[in-house]
Every structure is written in C-alpha cells, then in structure tokens.
Chain A
C-alpha cells in the first residue's frame, strides 16, 4: 500500500486520469460480459449440472444447447426463404401471385401424383397414423417437398424464383452448419493443444491459484469445491494409469495387443450383422407398403412402415452395449476408452443411416420397364420420391424421440423406484446406472444427421428437431438428477468437447452424400415439387445462369472450367503446405523455449545451492 501511495503522489494528473479511465473501462467490460452471459439459454441449469456431475456431463448439455440453436437457425432460414414465400403467394397476401409453368417434353405417366389428403369420413385413428408416418393429411402440407409446386412468386414487379431459392437455401444451411461447427471446433482445438502441452506446473497452478476469491455465493462455492475435487482426482487418476501403462512387461503387452485384435474382429462381425439386417428390413418394408396399402389403417401396416426405424434403433441400442462390454477387456485409460467406444458407436450409427439411404436409393432407381427408364426413377411406387424420403426421415426422427421418452419413463424411473424400495441383493448390486456420455452424444448426433439429410426433402423438419432437442434437454436433465449416480471415474471434458464436434462434423459430411445424390444425380420427380421442369434438381442453376448477361455468364463459365480450377487447386495446396511448415516451425520454437526454461531452473538450483553453501560457511 505504501508503494501505491508513493506512486499516486508522484504521477502527474494525466497518468491519474488514464489510470482511472482504464479501470472504469475494465469494469464496464466486465459488467457487459456478465450480463451477456445471463442471456445464454439454460446457463443456470448447465452450471448446476456441472457442479453436481462434473464437466464431462456438462459438456453433453452444452452440446445439446448448441444443437438447439443450430436447428433453430436452420429452421428460420428454410422457413423464411422457402415456406414463407410459398404460403404468401398461394394465399395471395400482399397482392402476390404465383405462376406454375406447365411441364414440357415430359412423359405424361411420370406426372401422375395423387396424394390423398383425407377425404370424407375417416376414423380418428387415421389422423394418429398419419401424424406418426407422415402420410395422409400431412403429405400435402408444407412439411414435405411435394407441396412446393409453384415456380415463381410475384410481389408487384419482383419475381421470386422459388426453385432456385429452394436449392440455394439447402446449400446455405449445409454451408452454415459446416462453418459454425468448424468455428466451434477450432476454439476447442486451440484449448486442446494448450492443455496437451506438457504443462510444467499443472498441479501447482490448480492448487495455488485454484480458488477464485471473487466467489461470494455459498452455492457457487459448493460447486467450485466439487469441481476442484473432480479435477484433482481426474489428474491423479490419469497419472496413475500412465504409470501403470509404462510399467507393463513385454509379455503383458503381447497379451493385450492380441486380445485387442481379437476383439476388433468381433466388432467388425457385429457391424456387418447390423448392416445386413437393416438392408433386409428396408427392402421388406418398401416392398410391402405399396401405395394402395399405404392408406390402409391396419396396425400391422404401421409396424411394417416403421420396420426400418425399429431395426435401426435396435441395432443402435444393442451394438453400443456389446462394445462397452468388450472395451472393458481392452484396458485403456478412461479418456481413450470413451473415445474408442464413441468411434465404434459412431460408425455403427452413421453407417446404419448410410445403409438405409443406400437401400432407399436402390429401391427408387430400380427400373425394369422402359416407361420407368424414361422417367428416370420408379414412378409407379414413387411418384413423388422426394416426399417419400422426407417421410422416411420424419418417421426416423419421431421414432427416435418416442424411444428416448419411453426409455426414460419406462426404464429409468422404475429402476430408481426398485433400487430405493427393494432391498434384495440382486437389485442393489445392479444399482443406479451412470450417465453414459457417449451413448447420449451419439443419440443426438444421429438425430442431427437425420435432420440434415431430411431438411432438403422436408423443409419444416429443423423446426421439429428444435422442439425435439428442447424437450430432450429437460427430459435428460430430470432423468439425470433423479435416476443417475455421479460417475465413479471422473472424466475431463475439454478434449471430449472437441471430439463431439469432430463426430458431428463426420455426421454432416455423411449427410452431404445423400443430399448431393438427391440433388445432382437422381432425376427430380416430375409429378411434384419445384423442380418438375428440370432434369435434376441441380439443373435449375445452369438454367438461371443462362439468364444472366453474357459477360457474367462468361465469367462464371471461366470459373467453372478446368483452366481455372487446376491452378486454383495448386495455389490452395501451396498455401496449405506453407501453413503446415509454419506450424512445424512454431512447434520447434516451443520445444526450444521449453528446453531453455528447464535450463533456467537448473541454473537457479545451482545458484541457490551455492548460496546455501556460502551461507553455511
């Protein structure tokens, strides 16, 4: 304090003013940051979960929050650019009109499409069935691709090209998801890199600077205590495991590696079993739900329609159980165990979707007659194949949600009741389950991949996904608080966060494939949808470009030609090599600085020893 007082006496008025104004700025910035953190959705809930169950589970819930936001933004995008203009122009609001260009040069049999909304007296049961499977009255709403049949909307003199808007919005939402995920994972990657650098003093830092002296609330203090305890325990656990791994003898290593290879073979066998069953189930379901039966109200028919979803859900449920059982034999560190199980489960779930898409594609493009070849797709079974795919995605999403709710209601809560009230040994030995982070993350990534694939075929699907994830947050939170026990092995979350985003990215890249094939390869259905007048959905872009002024056309043709693409690609490769070299150089500098630090501390040791010696003489 004396120093400070002398300082203030001797500094001039200008310095004093600068000092006070910088203090004020800092305070204002702090206040803004605090108040903006209040605006974050569910901030309080996630904070309390972090305190009770650790950062691993908290990262799951923040991931869920991110997906809710992403889906909401995608929904807003699709709604405002595709659905809203359609609705406005078909109902004539704002004096808008629409035009439907009649198709030319197309075989008439391709354009027959009569979705029957429910006409006349129907059972109430039909509405429920339609709601669950997207047929009947839902098929003709704006939920599915088939509704968007207008070709252009006019508001006074402005022409709104709906097919182009549809296509561009699809590309836009895929690009937006890609950019947002990459941005988030880059932040996580940076943290990951910093943490992975072998910190000299992680323990000292945590112990001496661990307590935040600003905490005033006893609840916050309790949470901080818990999180500190978890962190210290995690670090110690990881260190113990590292030592154990380093101490292994060669014989043990051999045994473990051969065991791992054997288990991987089992894993591959399980995977191929799943794929085969999904393929058979989809083929069976499509063959047996022919158009005429589809409007039948027998319960068995609903089961047949949902057969692919059921098989996929069963496979997604059984395979992870098998994997988590197997991984306990493989003796990895807890962080790596989670990652490997996650990778395997990722592969199962995403490949399941891939197999479903593939079987749908083979069904849609299976053409035996000449008439069918003229249309390009199987027009008898699928007059409007995009709506079919959209319905399939819709069914998957609804079923996924139903399963999550059902598992929570019928599995978790009775188990909790059983454990608390029944004191027989078997029940107590089973006990309460822990919160399986990897399973739950995979569940939501699976749902999100379906949403991405389905949005092109069913524009309102992201809205349904937003509501679904919103509800899932509360369901999972209640289930967590009441029916789960805290993890026996505390797990660190920061690297898991980055890993979840990488898996989400894999899901997104997987979603590109069916959407890309649907847009550019399979001919668009001639009976419904905005792309009736084009050979494929992508064809609207060249058609629009032909309408541009000649100069612009030439520029665009130049960009798309090989003369431009090859040099561009080479330049990008060069830039990439430059950055890789830069990163390598920085790494070398960091290593050198680390060595210097070690040398410095050795010098200090030497000097202190000398001083001690000199003092003792």
Chain B
C-alpha cells in the first residue's frame, strides 16, 4: 500500500511520503477509484485536511483501504457508507441525497437518468422500506439496520488493491 501511495506523489516528495499530502486530482487517477461514481465523496469523507481541498495523507489513504478491505466489520462499512452517501453532510439521507445517489448509480448523461416520476416512485419505495420513524429521512441507525439485512452489501462495498 505504501508503494501505491508513494507512486502518486511527484518524484521530489517521495522520500517523506509519510507526511506529505496528495492532492485530490492525483488520488482520482487510481484505477480503483477511476470508474467509481462516488469518487468525489470518498475523497471528501476520508480526507482530514484542514483546508478543505480533499487532499489525503498516507494515514487517510490507509484508513480508506482498511474500511474497504475484507476484514472490516459490517458496522464500520455501513458507518462510512452512510457518510459517503450523505451528499450534503448533514447527518441524514434526505430526498435530495437519495436523488443524487440514484443518479450516480445510473450513470452520468441525460439518457441514463430516471424520469422524474420514476425517481419519485423509487424514493418513495426506499423511504417506505427503510424509514422507521417516518420522518422522511434516513438516519445512521436506520441505514445500518437496512444494510445489515441486505445480502449484497459486504461483497460489493469492497476494494481490493
């Protein structure tokens, strides 16, 4: 993992890669993240930079890899998945978050989006299935409850270097 991280840095900084930060653009060139529709959210969630430029240090990189690895527990994965899916960082998944999530899944481009009625119907169904306290949003515990009963979650929420 250290090798992959240091490859992302320009040559001069490689010696002290442990303390350097890699800008977001470089991170996104990783093949594992390149095709991922959630790439920006992943960088934002794992980055601990104070300046908000979503750069990642080696520690952040390791954090990301460990969450996505096989040995992470379902709790940790669902916690981070919640943070990734929460597009506006308000701690809950409301309708707008879900809409952006579905659009990410179906792909960029006009013809690959669902129509408005379909989106409405889909979000209604999702909220029906997962929103227990009926407040129109999904909070962390509801999300973890839903994900724990989903059979495919652990196998799909995984990155192998």
Residues on A lying within 8 angstroms of B by beta carbon are: 1, 3-4, 23, 26, 200-201, 203-205, 207-218, 220-222, 225-226, 228-229, 232-233, 236, 239-240, 601, 604-605, 608-609, 612
Contact indicator per residue, chain B 135-157, by CB within 8 Å of chain A (1) or not (0): 00000000101110111110011
Nearest residue (CB) in B for A608 is B133
Nearest residue (CB) in B for A27 is B160
A208 contacts B107, CB within 8 Å? no
A201 contacts B130, CB within 8 Å? yes
A228 contacts B160, CB within 8 Å? no
Nearest chain B CB to A267's CB is how many angstroms away? 35
Segment of B11-19, B48-56, B66-74 engaged in the interface with chain A: B66-74
B35 contacts A236, CB within 8 Å? no
Q: Which residues of B contact A211 (CB under 8 A)?
A: 36-38, 104-105, 156
Nearest chain A CB to B102's CB is how many angstroms away? 6
Nearest residue (CB) in A for B69 is A4
Q: Which residues of B contact A205 (CB under 8 A)?
A: 150-153
Nearest chain B CB to A196's CB is how many angstroms away? 16
Residues on B lying within 8 angstroms of A by beta carbon are: 31-32, 34-38, 62-63, 66, 68, 70-73, 76, 81, 85, 98, 101-102, 104-107, 112, 114, 118, 121-122, 125-126, 129-130, 132-133, 143, 145-147, 149-153, 156-160
A207 contacts B105, CB within 8 Å? yes
Q: Which residues of A contact B34 (CB under 8 A)?
A: 216, 218
A605 contacts B129, CB within 8 Å? no
Nearest residue (CB) in A for B71 is A4
Q: Which residues of A contact B151 (CB under 8 A)?
A: 205
B129 partner, pick from A200, A214, A609, beta carbons under 8 A:
A200
Nearest chain B CB to A21's CB is how many angstroms away? 14
A103 and B157 CA atoms in complex are apart in Å by 74
Q: Which residues of B contact A226 (CB under 8 A)?
A: 107, 112
Among B35, B36, B160, max chain A CB count under 10 A is at: B35
A213 contacts B158, CB within 8 Å? yes
Provide 25 A-B residue pairs closer than 8 Å at the C-beta atoms, listed in order of the A residue: A1-B63, A4-B66, A203-B122, A204-B126, A205-B153, A208-B150, A209-B153, A211-B104, A211-B105, A213-B156, A213-B159, A214-B32, A215-B36, A216-B34, A218-B35, A225-B106, A225-B107, A229-B105, A229-B112, A232-B102, A236-B122, A240-B121, A604-B132, A608-B132, A609-B133
Q: A207-B105, A609-B133 are in contact. Are A213 and B68 (CB under 8 A)?
A: yes
A207 and B118 CA atoms in complex are apart in Å by 14
B102 contacts A207, CB within 8 Å? yes
Q: Which residues of A contact B121 (CB under 8 A)?
A: 236, 239-240
Q: A203-B126, A236-B121, A605-B132 are in contact. Are A208 and B153 (CB under 8 A)?
A: yes
A129 and B117 CA atoms in complex are apart in Å by 61
A209 contacts B156, CB within 8 Å? yes
Given A203-B129, A204-B146, A604-B132, 5 other A-B contacts at CB below 8 A? A4-B72, A200-B149, A203-B125, A207-B101, A214-B158
9 nearest A-B residue pairs (beta carbon): A225-B107, A221-B35, A209-B153, A229-B106, A209-B152, A205-B150, A203-B125, A216-B31, A212-B156
Nearest residue (CB) in A for B130 is A204
Q: Which residues of A contact B150 (CB under 8 A)?
A: 201, 204-205, 208-209
A289 and B38 CA atoms in complex are apart in Å by 71
Q: Which residues of B contact A609 (CB under 8 A)?
A: 133
A200 and B151 CA atoms in complex are apart in Å by 12
Q: Which residues of A contact B143 (CB under 8 A)?
A: 208
Among B125, B143, B147, max chain A CB count under 10 A is at: B125
Among A209, A218, A220, A226, max chain B CB count under 10 A is at: A209
A519 and B160 CA atoms in complex are apart in Å by 59
B112 partner, pick from A26, A210, A225, beta carbons under 8 A:
A225
Nearest chain A CB to B118's CB is how many angstroms away? 5
A212 and B36 CA atoms in complex are apart in Å by 9
Nearest chain A CB to B47's CB is how many angstroms away? 16
Q: Which residues of B contact A218 (CB under 8 A)?
A: 34-35
B62 contacts A1, CB within 8 Å? yes
Nearest chain B CB to A494's CB is how many angstroms away? 15
Q: Which residues of A contact B157 (CB under 8 A)?
A: 209, 213
A122 and B68 CA atoms in complex are apart in Å by 75
B81 contacts A208, CB within 8 Å? yes
Nearest residue (CB) in A for B66 is A1
Q: Which residues of B contact A207 (CB under 8 A)?
A: 98, 101-102, 105, 122, 126
Q: Which residues of B contact A605 (CB under 8 A)?
A: 132-133
Nearest chain B CB to A605's CB is how many angstroms away? 5
B159 contacts A208, CB within 8 Å? no
A565 and B147 CA atoms in complex are apart in Å by 54
Nearest residue (CB) in A for B98 is A207
Nearest chain B CB to A67's CB is how many angstroms away? 31
Q: A216-B35, A218-B34 are in contact. Are A210 and B107 (CB under 8 A)?
A: no
Q: Which residues of A contact B72 (CB under 8 A)?
A: 4
A201 and B146 CA atoms in complex are apart in Å by 8
Q: A209-B156, A212-B156 are in contact. Are A26 and B70 (CB under 8 A)?
A: yes
Among A3, A205, A213, A605, max chain B CB count under 10 A is at: A213
Nearest chain A CB to B130's CB is how many angstroms away? 5
Q: Which residues of A contact B62 (CB under 8 A)?
A: 1
A204 and B153 CA atoms in complex are apart in Å by 10
Nearest residue (CB) in B for A205 is B150
B129 contacts A204, CB within 8 Å? yes
Q: Which residues of A contact B98 (CB under 8 A)?
A: 207
Nearest chain A CB to B14's CB is how many angstroms away? 24
A211 and B36 CA atoms in complex are apart in Å by 9
A221 and B129 CA atoms in complex are apart in Å by 27
Nearest chain B CB to A119's CB is how many angstroms away? 66
Q: Which residues of B contact A604 (CB under 8 A)?
A: 132, 145
Nearest chain B CB to A239's CB is how many angstroms away? 7
A213 contacts B36, CB within 8 Å? yes
A23 and B35 CA atoms in complex are apart in Å by 26
Nearest chain B CB to A229's CB is how many angstroms away? 4
Q: Which residues of A contact B71 (CB under 8 A)?
A: 4, 23
Q: Which residues of B contact A204 (CB under 8 A)?
A: 126, 129-130, 146, 150
